[in-house]
Amino acid sequence: MAGILNKIGTTLEMIKWEHSIFALPFALTAMLLAAGGVPGWRYVIWIVIAMVSARSAAMAFNRWADADLDAENPRTRSRAIPAGLLSRKFVLGFTVVAMAIFLLAAAELNRLTLELAPVVLVVLLGYSYLKRVTQWSHLGLGLALGLAPTAAWIAVRGSLDPRILVLTAAVTFWAGGFDVLYACQDYEHDRGAGLHSLPQAMGLTAAFWTARGMHLAMLALLVWFGLLFGFGWAGWLGVCAVGILLAYEHAIVSPRDLRRLNAAFFTMNGVIAMVFFGFVTADLWLKR
């Protein structure tokens, strides 16, 4: 039992489960908007379980699928599978358990969430193979995160409102943009390994401009989203704060200096998601 718990701990470290914070605040934002407030703790608990288990399944599967590639990449060869800390069999088993928990959470929410859950899993697991076939794989990751608000809306309402798709599009471009930046670290490796990415296809400078374009698209979509849902001053402050934080993220990295990329990727994007959620929550509270 101690050995299994140690392996689970190593797996959670490998998949950086705490980074569920990236998409979770957007899912909770959609949940609050769908309910016009907090919908009840049962919804909150199962939505959080669904989000964390879905991301855990996706990340564990990604590490399983990429184990051989990670072993060849100097940046990633210390990850748990290539380093021999975990077996591929154990990680695949963890993936299956996480998928089962996700399906259970979907079933506990409503029938439509359960019916759509397999589609979500196809998107989440399929992302791992996109970089083998297309340089636009970054948008595949973006969609994997972008599904979160739409899924949370359906979890509360049991139906789809097209307005929430605007937030899904915004999150897709946001996550796709920061994945383009993150892929700049593997520019040389991807070229040699025959993997596809925008940095590998376009070069670092063009990739940075593409990421900026994606993040500008995100801001435009957030403005549209705010108009659709009638944001008050607090909601619009949240959109402005996201814009300022994105500008700062792009200011601390450049094609010639990637040293602070991890700070931009992990710290700032978690802050961006939480700040937007906080301001929209305040906006809803002030309207009551």
Each residue's pLDDT expressed in tens, for the chain with a length of 288 residues: 667 778 888 887 887 766 667 889 999 999 999 999 999 899 999 999 999 999 999 999 999 999 998 899 888 888 899 999 989 999 999 999 999 999 999 999 999 999 999 999 999 999 999 999 999 999 999 999 999 999 999 999 999 999 999 999 999 999 999 999 989 988 888 887 788 899 999 999 999 999 999 999 999 999 999 999 999 999 999 999 999 999 998 988 888 888 777 766 677 888 999 999 999 999 999 987
> What per-residue confidence (pLDDT) applies to 267?
76
CB 32 within 8 A of CB 155: no
The phi-psi region of residue 134 (left if phi > 0; otherwise alpha if psi is between -120 and 50; otherwise beta) is beta
Question: How far is it, in rounded angstroms, from Cα 31 to Cα 154?
Answer: 9
> What per-residue confidence (pLDDT) applies to 263?
64
Question: How far is it, in rounded angstroms, from Cα 276 to Cα 25?
Answer: 8
CB 131 within 8 A of CB 69: no
Question: How far is it, in rounded angstroms, from Cα 40 to Cα 86?
Answer: 39
Q: Where are the alpha helices (DSSP H) in 164-268?
A: 164-183, 187-193, 198-202, 204-228, 233-251, 261-262
Question: How far is it, in rounded angstroms, from Cα 13 to Cα 201?
Answer: 31
Provide the 10 A C-beta neighbour count for residue 96.
12
Q: Which amino acid, one-letter code, is at 9?
A: G
CATH architecture of the domain with range 2-287: Orthogonal Bundle (1.10)
